[in-house]
Structure 1
């Protein structure tokens, strides 16, 4: 229900639980997801390859035509080839070098530098 974006009232009706119980379960679910995300193994290391990219999520007007510039959210993410397919994805306010390098250094077990708009691994 939480993943399907049910409202609290819908959850109360479906489960027969009180408002406080539903709120407690939602809080617990969020905490479990946060702990999972924060305690994942770091990506990278010797002999491992990571594909990284940034992309924009936006709503198209009437589901067609060009993207609307103002109403988009940038996401930066990556996936490790093989080794269980570990991955990461983060919302980012901008695609500046400083922002992306901070995320890369925090999430990956490698040294990274930016060269001509391309990430170069040391």
Structure 2
């Protein structure tokens, strides 16, 4: 995967995909291993990326699937990656397939204020 720092690559295990339906359309997002055993992490961009949310994308932690393999995808828990707050972070960029064509208004927005300056993000929107 690419990174918010040009020329850097991140390597992660992707145990599978998360399938979600938004407005009648099915989307499949590559999921990575989360922090807790069995949990997942999804990196994504959407139609708000670079507008009201951080251009490089956001992350979404997903709890361990239930016995039937179902999960709860709660975009209210979408959070900015560390690179939204500092130029010293080397955040991974979401895979190309994890770009939702619809706006996800929930979750963290772009940080604002004097400590946050705009910068270009490789592959960002």
Q: TM-score range by the shorter chain?
A: under 0.3
Compute the TM-score of the two structures, normalised by the length of structure 1: 0.26
Report which of the two structures shows the higher radius of gyration computed on alpha carbons.
1
Instruction: Say which structure, 1 or 2, has more relative contact order (CA 8 Å, 6+ apart).
Output: 2
Higher helix content, 1 or 2 = 1
Compute the TM-score of the two structures, normalised by the length of structure 2: 0.25
